[in-house]
Structure 1
Amino acid sequence: MNQRARLRALASALTRKSTPALLVTHLPDVRYLTGFTGSNAALVVLAGSRVSARLFTDGRYTAQAKQEVSSATVRIAPRSALAEACAYAAQHATVCGFDRTQTTVATLATMRTAARKAGADGNFFKPFDGAVVALRVVKDEEEAAIMRRAAAMTGDLYEGLLSWIEAGMRERDVAAELEHRARLAGAEGMSFETIVAAGERSSHPHARATDATLQPGDLVTLDFGIVLDGYCSDMTRTFALGFGGGTIPPRLRARWAEQREVFEAVLAAQTAAVRAVRRGVTCGEVDEAARSVLTELGWAKYFTHSTGHGVGLEIHEGPRVAKAQSQRLESGMVITIEPGVYLPGRFGVRIEDTVRVTDDGAEVLTPVHKGWLEL
């Protein structure tokens, strides 16, 4: 990863905004700029045409920081890494930006106290939100390559699990098996808590896996992702549990037909939204592409969340693909497309792909079968 180029771009942005320094404390931002993966870090970046950045951490990471960080000078703080970073900023700048979206009130008070002890006044810290996020939102080729690998592993895990799943299993057993296989395949961990939701519970968009069992006739929603080299994947598929080759029981025929109807509607909406993705299109237009299909088919009122979100070092990052969002897509952005329909107390369907924005369309990173499937 070319962290030095990223720091140079950030320093240039600070110069344009007449901000002499920036304090970075959000760990995914720190990792993006320096490669450091420890759990305690504060980074000070000074404005200017040359890279001038200092990373503060504690003694647990002496060897690790030396191995991982080459774009910034490393300082092992004997006490508080954050306090030392603030003091350093106060000694080298008259004003220092910080990201309010990643800073608690208590942390800001600590920052101000440390800067004041180093001679700064009460106005030393000023809001400078989203500076690193603006860089992170477009993935370079190296990032894209990692995310393709992560997505490919995700697809392989899903397809491998299908031959193992059967009626009578608990949701939590399916989640545990998937996560075990992910670790064995080389994943660092899961992007988020794996969602396995069967039957009525599939009507809960973010249902946790429980002791509920998978039953013939159920729709099952499986939403998961893995972390590979720090980058997240994200994919959702909904499939049906059949009846072992037998006929559909009369009492389930109407529900089975409705489940299929809703599934095809969501698939059409998801396909339309993927087709809408390209450089220059607004996030709101992509959302509307999905929503308009569901409106036409009569299911839009049951689509209760946004169409998608950015993915990268974090499972949820910019941009937000939602109604009326005016941000335009740029080539290299990686986003999810995940419309869903949820009928309370009955069942739900969600289908999700992760895609990379290109000049003339979308590169689908999760090209796994997503049509109607009966196990």
Structure 2
Amino acid sequence: MTLPNIPDAEFETRRERARQMAKEAGLDALVIWSRSGNSVEAYGDLFYLTNFVSLFPCVPDRKTWSSRGHAALILPVDGAPVLLTDYLDDPEDRIKVTDVRFALDLAAGTGKALADMGLLDRRIGMVGMMSYLVSAHQRLEAAAGRPVAFESADHILEHLRLIKSPSEIAMLRHSASVGKKWMDATMAALVEGNTEGDAVGAGLAVLAANGGTQQDIAIASGPNAIHYMGSSGVPHWNVQRALEPGDLVHVDLWGPVFGYYTDFARSTVVGGKPDGGQKELLEGSCALIHHIIAGIEPGKTRFCDLYTRGTAWLDANGFANHKSTADETNNFSQQFPCFGHAIGLGIDGPWIVEDEQTVIQPNMTIAVEALVSKLGVGAANYEEDVLVTDEGAEILTSACDGVRWG
């Protein structure tokens, strides 16, 4: 089978667009800082521009090294990019930047490179604030020999990554197809006598064999089904309690397949025979998400409009919404006042929240989700990955059965 891929020339096109946006913002360069290593939640911006992630695990700093599991791209608006990595051992030659420099002390190496490139007296935007640590900045300044002030520039890459190219859409279609196999294997193992951990393990075997890795799996069942996750420890799934017939179970799984994310949720009852309250909850969670998706009008609908549409549906159908206090023990909805987010090389923004004014456009990809609760019944989770088209929305995860009960 031939797998989809991003053409080499697309990486240079992306960098040129980032340069142009930086220049329009009055910046002279961008530093794109990335955390990857043994985590997958913050590699997207660097991967988007270079096809590179650090392979080394994130470990504490020492005198001789810093920022293991991180990497940085220095992208001048005029001039060639420089990629700095803490670990350079790439057997497949994936990197799409010519000037690649290894730095055991990555933060110090970045500071020295900025000085060598004559950028310290210029305006520099920082992309990757969520993973750029105070400790890294202190070492960077020490190597630069002077204070260094970065301007926030995360919005540049968020904007560039929001509209997907044809090759990215192909990658996301493939991710959704792998996600279906992952979810099917997980749900098939939700049988009497198994634990949540057994089901998670069955799914992960399929995911790994098909080129994916998990960021996380949120699963909860039976008496814990009112919660988003079945365990508050590590791991996030219960490996002691055996599933019983009639247990309500919901599964939300997400992670990258060859870099691009799949992220969706399904719910069921062990044995496939829900009682009346469970069936109302399961059907309601599906109906809510498809109701929100049906409201997508490209070029017109804002992310906040989808939020309003979702809360109105919950109110009209007797479910707790994000501002309700009527959902008994489950306060997850208040902690996560949201109906989803953009998706691509990660769990991306913008988010489907009350105040997000971004207008939805064709070739955006969005994960639409909600954990829906009912008093005395529990909670059900449902989520779909959506490609916005010129006409409306195509559900990329539609091949994965949403009704898993009789």
Instruction: From the superposition, tell whether residues 175 and 163 of structure 1 become closer, same or farther in structure 2 (CA, over 3 Å).
Output: closer
Measure how far apart 1:336 and its partner are.
Answer: 0.9
The answer for the alignment partner of 1:262 in structure 2 is 281
SS of equivalent to 1:225: strand
The answer for the alignment partner of 1:43 in structure 2 is 73
Letter in 2 for 1:37: V
Distance 2:393 2:133 in 1: 37
How many corresponding residue pairs? 353
The equivalent position to 1:317 in structure 2, one of 338, 348, 361, is 348
The answer for the alignment partner of 2:134 in structure 1 is 105
Letter in 2 for 1:206: M
The equivalent position to 2:340 in structure 1, one of 308, 327, 333, is 308
Query: For structure 1, which segment, 136-145 or 347-356, has the greater mean C-alpha deviation from structure 2 after superposition?
Result: 136-145
SS of equivalent to 1:52: coil
1:365 to 2:396 alignment: yes
The answer for the alignment partner of 1:293 in structure 2 is 313
The equivalent position to 2:111 in structure 1, one of 75, 81, 86, is 86
Instruction: From the superposition, tell whether residues 372 and 126 of structure 1 become closer, same or farther in structure 2 (CA, over 3 Å).
Output: closer
The answer for the alignment partner of 1:347 in structure 2 is 378
Distance 2:250 2:34 in 1: 32
The answer for the alignment partner of 1:251 in structure 2 is none
The answer for the alignment partner of 2:85 in structure 1 is 57
Distance 2:198 2:399 in 1: 23
Aligned-pair RMSD on alpha carbons? 2.4
| 8 A contact 2:31–2:126 mirrored in 1 | yes
SS of equivalent to 1:224: strand
| 8 A contact 2:19–2:75 mirrored in 1 | yes
Instruction: From the superposition, tell whether residues 293 and 134 of structure 1 become closer, same or farther in structure 2 (CA, over 3 Å).
Output: same
SS of equivalent to 2:100: strand
Letter in 1 for 2:348: E
Q: Where does 1:5-20 land on structure 2 (aligned, <5 Å)?
A: 5-20=13-28
Letter in 2 for 1:61: L
Higher helix share: 1
Distance 2:395 2:70 in 1: 35
Q: Where does 1:148-227 land on structure 2 (aligned, <5 Å)?
A: 148-184=173-209, 186-190=210-214, 192-207=215-230, 208-210=236-238, 211-227=240-256
| 8 A contact 1:284–1:323 mirrored in 2 | yes
SS of equivalent to 2:267: strand
Distance 2:197 2:90 in 1: 38
1:233 to 2:262 alignment: yes
Distance 1:86 1:168 in 2: 56
SS of equivalent to 1:68: coil
Q: TM-score, normalised by structure 1?
A: 0.86
Letter in 1 for 2:20: S
Instruction: From the superposition, tell whether residues 313 and 371 of structure 1 become closer, same or farther in structure 2 (CA, over 3 Å).
Output: closer
Measure how far apart 1:154 and its partner are.
Answer: 1.5
Distance 1:226 1:277 in 2: 25
| 8 A contact 1:42–1:56 mirrored in 2 | yes
| 8 A contact 1:334–1:357 mirrored in 2 | yes
Q: TM-score, normalised by structure 2?
A: 0.80
Measure how far apart 1:371 and its partner are.
Answer: 4.7
Letter in 2 for 1:205: Y
Point out the structure with max Rg over C-alpha. 1
The answer for the alignment partner of 2:39 in structure 1 is none
The answer for the alignment partner of 2:100 in structure 1 is 74
